[in-house]
Structure 1
Amino acid sequence: MPQTPPRLKVDAITRRFDGRDVVTGVSLSVAPGQVTCLLGPSGCGKSTTLRIVAGVDRQDSGRIIVDGDCVSDDERHLPPERRGIGLMFQDFALFPHLSVGENVAFALDGGLRRNRERVGDLLERVDLGSFIDAYPHQLSGGEQQRVALVRALAPKPAIMLMDEPFSGLDNRLRDDIRDRTLAVLKEENTAVLLVTHEPDEAMRMADEIALMRAGKIVQRGAPYHIYNNPVDRAAAAFFSDINIVRGVSHGALTETPFGQFLTPGHADGTPVEIVIRPQHLRIDFDREGRGPNPTPTDGVAARAVVERARFMGRESLVEFRMDYDSTILKATVPAVFLPRPGTPLWLTLRRDRCFVFPS
């Protein structure tokens, strides 16, 4: 079966400000119905990339291709209104003097009068059909966000660009609004490029994540792949808290409080870091480290003393000071588990969930 050609292709774009590269060699593609997320910390270049795709900024080199046609390179640069791209930003920017229906129909020829059926259908799909004649000040923040979404979709853009569109919403509403938005975008078969600094949002919405750092894409892939196969320690830490066990590789082995770890590919004498997420650090009450449900991946148990324990709502977070070298490690435990500070316990690692990186 032939592969669907991408709606959007970003080809090796670079952008400089004051002699400094803000975006460096960024390439990606987005197919119809696909959600690609540019994920990274503030200042990493993701919003600049989005503005270049939109046409409100211009790259110093590279190309932007929409449905097979180059819309921007060294010689040409189509303005935003000629690219067939929808834009949705954190600021909903609804016109307060226009009704909801008039806001949605703003970019349509003939306005609301000639497009009332299309506008009404879009509003119905986000459960706002009865608000077509209301005004923005009569809506909640979440409802305004949905109006902004259908306004961007009304002209049937091939591509939707979204820059932190949910960050202004109450946390309790955010998941519901994300799911509604994703459903409508999928129904429209729109190619979506979403910018966010929140890993949870990227994991929830994206088919593909492009992780950015210092103007470059450092890793691309499905959310599951990036989470479970981080390219480096910083990538692992961006998605969750991490624990770090340090050692030195000798003969492709590294001694740790939890026994020897295989560290192939690291020369003798290379300092390494063994990274483990808190949910994969196990608490074991048996001094022999065998526990009630031993697994062959757990290896040797190491003794530690409880420093602090907190209940977080769905799980408990327990901090330990290791006997071996006094480092602090964190473990998460389902439900309520609040041992007193000073309680000695034994810990094991899920070796199949560890990542090894050079220090």
Structure 2
Amino acid sequence: MAGTPPRLEIRNIVRRFGGRNVVDGVSLQVQPGQVTCLLGPSGCGKSTTLRIIAGVDMQNSGEIYVDGKLVCDTIHRVPPEGRGIGLMFQDFALFPHLTIAQNVAFGLKGSAAQKRARVEELLSRVGLLHYAEEHPHQLSGGEQQRVALARALAPRPRIMLMDEPFSGLDNRLRDDIRDETLAVLKEEGTAVLLVTHEPDEAMRMADEIALMRDGRIVQQGAPYNIYNTPVDRAAAAFFSDINVIQGTVRGALTETAFGQFLAPGVPDGTEVDIVFRPQHLKIDFDRSGKGPNPTPLAGVPARGVVERARFMGRESLVEFRMDFDGSILKATVPSVFLPKPGTPLWLTVRRERCFVFPRKE
């Protein structure tokens, strides 16, 4: 509805420790039913931002709003229990002496019948109603994760804050639990802010990603846009392996062994990095771009010699030492492709899949 405020909004949050801005002017909005991921390396300020929103830490400046109402600035502060915010962490923090039903009911208000109905509703939703009278140690890690989710949702929080909640689970179980958790949160219409350092998790779960670095949000948008239009070389590298070739701009063009690359708006003489992912380095089997997988925008072939080839399951990773400068470039090839070390091959690069960034020292 037009004019409806976001469920969660933070404006210009700053948190200083020891004279350093650990969180440096962070602003974002999360709508009901939306999942936003704060993504970035360890120490970039993600978890501190979450603690400030939860009310367990205090910002030095900035404001926090829930449904358009101020809940915290440097003067006014609603206590954590009054913010309508749920919390989920890597440590499930279930009470070992309470049953599963008692864990979910902990902190609920209302009559015994109302509490029981809510507990049964949520345990049914996460598929654990038959474990209601068991204790946490009798459940697997994935089942405990679902109990933690049910407990966090029980008081119907308007906002859910999640700090690396799936990192303690093995990979195959993690995917299932993430998908189940996301489905339940969407059904509840909860605004979710998820902290993670794993790009795959952010891409899988998020409606919007806020990429953090050194206490700041450096890029924000839908996963597709963040991945395909990175703001700089570091942003591209955070999501996957990258290849980098270097050049100098002359007349809005950069000359390389793969041909010319456009660099519109970049001043002449600027040193640039041309960045592309391994899946966009293509093998040109006949040096003409007319092989089994023609790439019309690939440009000029350049020769490389195979250094190493490994089968990775769904694809093969081949490393080449390039003739033009001795650098190593990586290519991923679908299925099995394992040329012997020392094999010379011609390579091309998909121009439309390359990013040109001014080089940073």
| TM-score (normalised: structure 2) | 0.97
Shift of 1:121: 1.1
Distance 1:312 1:295 in 2: 24
Q: 1:121 is aligned with what amino acid?
A: E
Aligned position for 1:179: 179
Q: Does 1:350 align with 2:344?
A: no
1:201-241 CA-partner distances (Å, limit 9, x unpaired): 00000000000000000000000000000000000000000
1:108-164 CA-partner distances (Å, limit 9, x unpaired): 125866511211110111111101111100000000000000100000000000000
Q: Does 1:145 align with 2:145?
A: yes
Aligned position for 2:333: 333
Distance 2:224 2:3 in 1: 22
Distance 2:111 2:181 in 1: 23
* Consecutive aligned runs of 4 or more in structure 1 exceeding 6 Å deviation: none
Distance 2:193 2:341 in 1: 47
Distance 1:19 1:186 in 2: 40
Distance 1:62 1:178 in 2: 32
Aligned position for 1:72: 72
Aligned position for 1:100: 100
Q: 1:276 is aligned with what amino acid?
A: F
Distance 1:133 1:80 in 2: 30
What do you get for the CA RMSD once the two structures are aligned? Answer: 1.2
Contact 1:42/1:197 (8 A) holds in 2:
yes
CA pair 3-200 structure 1, distance change in 2 beyond 3 A: farther
Number of positions where the alignment pairs a residue of Structure 1 with one of Structure 2: 359
Distance 2:340 2:69 in 1: 64
CA pair 3-177 structure 1, distance change in 2 beyond 3 A: farther
Secondary structure of the residue aligned to 2:117 is helix
Long gaps (5+) in structure 1: none
Shift of 1:171: 1.1
Q: 2:342 is aligned with what amino acid?
A: G
Aligned position for 2:253: 253
Aligned position for 1:170: 170
Contact 2:289/2:296 (8 A) holds in 1:
no
1:62-96 CA-partner distances (Å, limit 9, x unpaired): 00101111111121111111111000011000000
Alignment identity in percent? 76
Shift of 1:289: 4.1
Secondary structure of the residue aligned to 1:63 is strand
Distance 2:70 2:83 in 1: 10
Contact 1:302/1:346 (8 A) holds in 2:
yes
Shift of 1:329: 0.2
Q: 2:196 is aligned with what amino acid?
A: T
Shift of 1:9: 0.4
Contact 1:283/1:348 (8 A) holds in 2:
yes
Aligned position for 2:269: 269
Aligned position for 2:51: 51
Shift of 1:291: 2.1
Shift of 1:296: 2.3
Aligned position for 1:314: 314
Aligned position for 1:301: 301
Q: 1:92 is aligned with what amino acid?
A: F
Contact 1:281/1:349 (8 A) holds in 2:
yes
Distance 1:346 1:279 in 2: 15
Distance 1:19 1:277 in 2: 38
Residues 123-138 of structure 1 correspond to what in structure 2 (within 5 A)?
A: 123-138=123-138
Shift of 1:4: 4.1
